[in-house]
Structure 1
Amino acid sequence: MTVTTGWALRPEPYDTADATALRRDYYDEVASRYWKRPATAAEIDEGLTNDGVELLVPPTGQFLVGRYGDEPAACGGVLLLDAERAELTRVFVRPAYRGSGGAALLLGALEDAARALGARRMVLNTRLDLIEARTLYLRNGYAEIPAYCEGPYMEVWYGKEL
């Protein structure tokens, strides 16, 4: 568990009420930005269906929820891809809590979780329009790498030695 400056970050099952609400908010934001219009509840439900989140439990991964005070404010996961690499996924801080230092703390806690699972390298993919996320990764030691996977919403890939 990481606690600092009002933030507490700890593992939590992906299907608790708070984790589910955070995952819905994450998908709503990334889908709405991609489509350049608000995502509907049905689209959010569809996007979360069979999204692989059940793998974000040891020994294949980990899901974290960050609280600012008592409020669920952030989430993220790591997924082991192989014996050496973990993938960073679903990194999200609710807008009201951005600028409070939570994103960097969440990233650090996710890196710790990946190390605890045995990973020596973290990788991730994102979209070019998610400028805030890309800035966060670059500020925290991630560098652009060749594509390690393909998909319709993958435009840039990053990696970092842990």
Structure 2
Amino acid sequence: MVSFQFYIANTAVHFEEASQLIREYANSLGIDLSFQNFSAEIQDLPTIYSPPTGAMILVFNNGVAAGCAGVRQWSKDIGELKRMYVRPNHRKAGVGFALLDRCISEARRLHYNRLRLDTLAGMTSAQSLYLKKGFYEIPPYRPNPIPGTLFFELNLSG
């Protein structure tokens, strides 16, 4: 039986686990994320992804770290979903769907009216998940030099 446990990162141990997952995610992409100030973001996870403007959500599947995702402030009323990652051996078990649900709930709890994200063109499973949850494609809201990057948004007030 699948059993998900969620944690909102609030300890050094949680943020270290998130850091490891995010590095694993970045390595899996095969692209240079320096245009997003990736190194600084990793060093500053507890500031960026903590209340009152953010959260880092960890998901464990049967006691094993399966993935993470962050919600951070883009503007006063808009949150941004970042670094959503599910380890390959936990995919197709509903972990991503459950994690995205938790991120949406957290964005609402943080009083965001909309939640935005960007994703690579090749991440078709993620795109399908976002569309199933009500996200819709929008024009680019941030510079991104990776060709084919897609941008999505979810209205949280509806």
For this structure pair, what is the TM-score category when the shorter chain's length is used for normalisation? 0.7 to 0.9
> Structure 1: which 5+ runs fail to align?
36-42
Whole-angstrom distance in 1 between the partners of 2:11 and 2:113: 24
Deviations 1:7-53 (A, max 9, x none): 111201485332222111111112x2x48xxxxxxx99xx7411263
1:105: how far off? 0.5
Whole-angstrom distance in 2 between the partners of 1:78 and 1:114: 7
Per the alignment, residue 69 of structure 1 pairs with 62
Whole-angstrom distance in 2 between the partners of 1:14 and 1:29: 26
- Tell me which stretches of 4 or more aligned residues in structure 1 moved more than 3 Å: none
TM norm structure 2: 0.84
Amino acid at match of 1:129: G
SS in 1 for 2:111: coil
> Structure 2: which 5+ runs fail to align?
none
TM norm structure 1: 0.82
- What is the number of equivalent residue pairs in this alignment? 148
Whole-angstrom distance in 1 between the partners of 2:87 and 2:22: 10
Identity %: 26
- Residues 56, 68 of structure 2: 8 Å contact kept: yes
Per the alignment, residue 39 of structure 1 pairs with none
Per the alignment, residue 22 of structure 1 pairs with 21
Whole-angstrom distance in 2 between the partners of 1:73 and 1:84: 30
1:121: how far off? 0.8
Whole-angstrom distance in 1 between the partners of 2:67 and 2:10: 14
Amino acid at match of 1:124: L
Per the alignment, residue 158 of structure 1 pairs with 152
Structure 1 residues 118 and 126: alpha-carbon distance in aligned structure 2, compared to 1, 3 A threshold: same
Mapped pair 1:50 → 2:43: no
